Structure 1
Amino acid sequence: MSRLSDLYKAMETLRKEGLSLNEDLEKQVSDLEENIIKKEILPIVTETIAPALKQVQRELVLVVDYVPGIPISVHLSRKRNFTADITDAKEILPDPQVEHKEIGKTGPKGKISAATRLKITFANGNVIQESQASETFRKFVMEIGAERVRSLGLKQNKVPLISNTLDKKYKSSQKAVGNGWYLMTCSNTLTKKRDIERIANAFKVKIKVEII
């Protein structure tokens, strides 16, 4: 079941129990619904229609009018600034694909070092320590908040550390951290440690990071 379905199911359960939502909670639910749609639904819509539009050689705007239970209505416009007439319109922009240079083989690889892990200890005693450094990093980012981490503008291999686009080259190393965001984990353990420390320092989170 999707997060959106979970949200609607929870709301329906509250209504069946005769519980009403106050204005503040209604706003929180509305914001959460909008965030899920922006991060999980709209990127899929964008990826679906983009290939079909490549043959179009002029600027245009497509407006999708969706009402549950009614066929989708799509309108075409040449007015690029139509959002000025819609006060709550929001533009969703996926991160662009990064061009990576292909490096040829330079000879036989040396001895592969033994895998290392990370241990993160918070000031309150809580510990994040998974079997893989990438998973420890992922759980740390989820603890801090993917969007907060993204706001720092960090990059790894030229790809945003937190991105809403799966990179063609490194997508297998991008781990989901919720709401349509992905964490780039293609780095060695020491680099991950340094990134974790930079993030913690930026948000004044007291932690101890160890390579084990």
Structure 2
Amino acid sequence: MSRLSDLYKAMETLRKEGLPVNEDIERKANELEEEIIKKEILPVLSKTIEPALQPVQRELVLVVDYVPGNPLSVHLSRKRNFTAEIDAKEILPDPEVEHKEIGKTGPKEVKNPVTRLRITFADGSVIQERNAAESFVTFVRRVGVERVRSLGLKQCKIPLVSNTLDKKYGDKQKSLGNGWYLMTNTSTQSKRKDIEFIANAFNINVKVDII
């Protein structure tokens, strides 16, 4: 948690000096908070709470209300839709994917020249970042991260939009904010196909060019 603590300190220093907190710092802090909750806090809570609840024979919902500096508050409801009433979000990490390591044989692979994407919308607006991966990220953010996630697309057996960094391809998963990551370990042509599929799924009129 040291990185998160460092970010908190940097944000506090900026506020004390009367300076605006950089959006990138805020985003990083939110992502680290989500990551810590998913990978460190939730497993501990599950191991502690589940054995204690075994004598209970009816369904229930527990809501933990955490306010920094105040005592922890836990609320109980018998309503199964209670989370919808309080706008709660269930955080479940995507399952870890096992990748087979295949030895490389034959001639050395020849890399294709670097290409970019230009995504043109019906209103004339254009997404054209410095590389195809960044254009893909910008496109997914514009469409809506969780909307794209709902399509269930996968690349390299990993959800295209995932809330977990893969142990093999994690460096190819680009941050979308709020603990979501976009899988970009694909060719520019494949990214174009994914963009066109997403656009068609949500009736978005776009023209995608490889440049």
- The answer to whether structure 1 residue 195 and structure 2 residue 165 are counterparts is no
Measured at CA, do residues 181 and 46 of structure 1 come closer, stay the same or move farther in structure 2, by a change above 3 Å? closer
CA distance in 2, matches of 1:83, 1:155: 36
Measured at CA, do residues 120 and 64 of structure 1 come closer, stay the same or move farther in structure 2, by a change above 3 Å? same
CA distance in 2, matches of 1:208, 1:105: 37
CA distance in 2, matches of 1:111, 1:47: 39
CA distance in 1, matches of 2:66, 2:187: 45
Q: What is the aligned counterpart of 1:45 among 22, 25, 37?
A: 37
Equivalenced residues, count: 173
**TM-score (norm. length: structure 2):** 0.69
What residue number does 1:136 align with?
135
Contact 1:177 1:183 (C-alpha < 8 Å) held by counterparts: yes
CA distance in 1, matches of 2:42, 2:182: 24
CA distance in 2, matches of 1:198, 1:141: 12
CA distance in 1, matches of 2:63, 2:124: 51
- The answer to whether structure 1 residue 161 and structure 2 residue 153 are counterparts is no
Measured at CA, do residues 103 and 150 of structure 1 come closer, stay the same or move farther in structure 2, by a change above 3 Å? same
User: CA RMSD of the aligned region, Å?
Assistant: 3.3
CA distance in 1, matches of 2:144, 2:208: 18
Extract structure 1 runs of 4+ deviating beyond 4 A. 50-56, 58-65, 71-74
CA distance in 1, matches of 2:201, 2:163: 22
Measured at CA, do residues 153 and 170 of structure 1 come closer, stay the same or move farther in structure 2, by a change above 3 Å? same
Q: How many Å apart are 1:53 and its aligned residue?
A: 8.1
Letter in 2 for 1:173: K
What residue number does 2:117 align with?
118
What residue number does 2:94 align with?
95
**TM-score (norm. length: structure 1):** 0.68
Deviations 1:65-97 (A, max 9, x none): 5233235579xxxxxxx7646823653211111
Measured at CA, do residues 204 and 45 of structure 1 come closer, stay the same or move farther in structure 2, by a change above 3 Å? same
Letter in 1 for 2:70: I
What residue number does 1:24 align with?
none
- The answer to whether structure 1 residue 66 and structure 2 residue 70 are counterparts is no
Q: How many Å apart are 1:64 and its aligned residue?
A: 5.0
